[in-house]
């Protein structure tokens, strides 16, 4: 006589039997509107310049950037985050191209707004590292240290010129104390209450930024550990979060994404504003490199990492695959 009681009465596998079943019960879904495309525009080039450490990503010309923005709109991507790469000869200790109305980032903002209008959120990186000859995110004092408060004055000026150039959203990324409050006040002073602030609330001093340094032609010598966060710390991130919200952040972000999913989940549970996460250059490069070697399935790995970031609590994800993934999701 057969004894059936030894078999399980509950079988979760029933909900995994077919693609249609798995799709129906999926708890986390990616959508094109979740995605934001980071893009680089380089001054003085006539053709897009490939970034060796980020296969498939380029430093755009003004024209190719406009096409990339139009492609993002067509795919349903929500936003584009712009990083400007000025000519080396224009960099200086104060990061003058960052506040020059004719600096490459401001020119690119005007270009993209003219191309896409309000169909795509045009976002601007608000930081000095791309424009300083020393490569730090702020101005330096006489001892060569980053001067927090002097840097805030530069950020206020940057916020105003970026808003005037057409940014819907500014993203202060330099990790200076008080940067969100200063930027919000600077925008309000010129009547730009409509420009949103995406706070780089949690930004760790990460090894995964390496390829980004090539992407923005960084002049940095040394590191940014005196202002970016220690990867060992959690409470520090929650303190930064409280400060940014108090200072008027409209949205908050965790960067990098993949190595800090625990932090992302903590932040998402704690706030009622939209939370973003930045899947950074090193995360991108690792997947592309492993896929090139044939060690992983590229497309599955991309979707798996993005799903994990969203599952951890991100409303939006900045990823260099934004347009590609959005096109596939649309199909």
**From the DSSP assignment, how many helices (H) and strands (E) are in the chain?**
11, 10
Closest CA to 81 of 48, 46, 108, 42: 108
| Helix H or strand E encompassing 197 | strand 196-203
DSSP 37-97: EEEEEETT-SS-EE-TTSTT-EEEPHHHHHHHHHHHHHHT--EEEEEEE--GGG-BTT-GG
Residues in binding site for 5-aminolevulinate: 213, 224, 281, 320
Question: What CA–CA distance (Å, rounded) separates 152 from 173?
Answer: 12
Kindly list the catalytic residues.
203, 255
- In sequence order, the 6+-apart residues with CB closer than 8 A to the CB of 146 are 136, 137, 138, 139, 140, 176, 226, 227
Q: Which tokens sit at 319?
A: 């990823």
Question: What CA–CA distance (Å, rounded) separates 312 from 321?
Answer: 19
Question: What CA–CA distance (Å, rounded) separates 37 from 324?
Answer: 10
| Helices (H), ranges, 94-200 | 104-116, 148-165, 179-189
DSSP 204-257: B--GGGHHHHHHTT----S--TTTSBPTT-SHHHHHHHHHHHHHT-SEEEEESS
Tell me how crowded residue 59 is: count the other CB atoms within 10 A of its CB: 23
Residues in binding site: 213, 224, 240, 281, 320
What are the phi and psi torsion angles at 75 (to 5°)?
-80, -15
Beta pairing class for 251-255 and 169-172: unpaired
Torsion angle, CA of 234/39/245/202, rounded to 10 degrees? Answer: 10
């Amino acid at each position: 006589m057969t004894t059936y009681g030894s078999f399980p009465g509950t079988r979760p596998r029933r909900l995994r039997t077919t693609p249609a079943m798995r799709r129906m019960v999926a708890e986390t879904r990616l959508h094109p509107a979740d995605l934001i495309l980071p893009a680089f525009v380089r001054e003085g080039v006539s053709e897009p310049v490939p970034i060796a450490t980020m296969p498939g990503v380029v430093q755009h010309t003004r024209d190719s950037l406009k096409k990339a923005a139009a492609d993002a709109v067509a795919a349903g991507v929500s936003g584009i985050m712009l990083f400007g790469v000025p000519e080396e000869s224009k960099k200086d200790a104060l990061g003058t191209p960052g506040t020059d109305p004719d600096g490459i980032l401001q020119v690119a903002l005007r270009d993209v707004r003219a191309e896409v209008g309000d169909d795509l959120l045009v976002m601007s990186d608000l930081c000095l590292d791309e424009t300083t000859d020393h490569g730090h995110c702020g101005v330096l004092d006489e001892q060569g240290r980053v001067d927090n408060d002097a840097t805030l004055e530069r950020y206020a000026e940057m916020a105003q010129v970026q808003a005037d150039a057409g940014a819907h959203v500014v993203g202060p990324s330099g990790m200076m104390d008080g940067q969100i409050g200063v930027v919000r006040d600077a925008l309000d002073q010129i009547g730009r209450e409509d420009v949103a602030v995406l706070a780089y609330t949690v930004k760790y001093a990460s090894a995964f930024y390496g390829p980004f340094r090539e992407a923005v032609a960084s002049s940095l010598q040394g590191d940014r550990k005196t202002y970016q966060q220690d990867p060992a710390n959690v409470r520090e991130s929650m303190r930064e979060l409280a400060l940014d919200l108090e200072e008027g952040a409209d949205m908050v972000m965790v960067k990098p994404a993949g190595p800090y999913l625990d932090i992302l989940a903590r932040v998402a549970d704690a706030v009622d504003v939209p939370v973003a996460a930045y899947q950074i250059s090193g995360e991108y490069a690792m997947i592309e490199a492993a896929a090139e070697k044939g060690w992983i399935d590229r497309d599955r790995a991309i979707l798996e990492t993005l799903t994990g970031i969203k599952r951890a609590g991100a409303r939006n994800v900045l990823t260099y695959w934004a347009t590609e993934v959005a096109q596939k999701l649309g199909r």
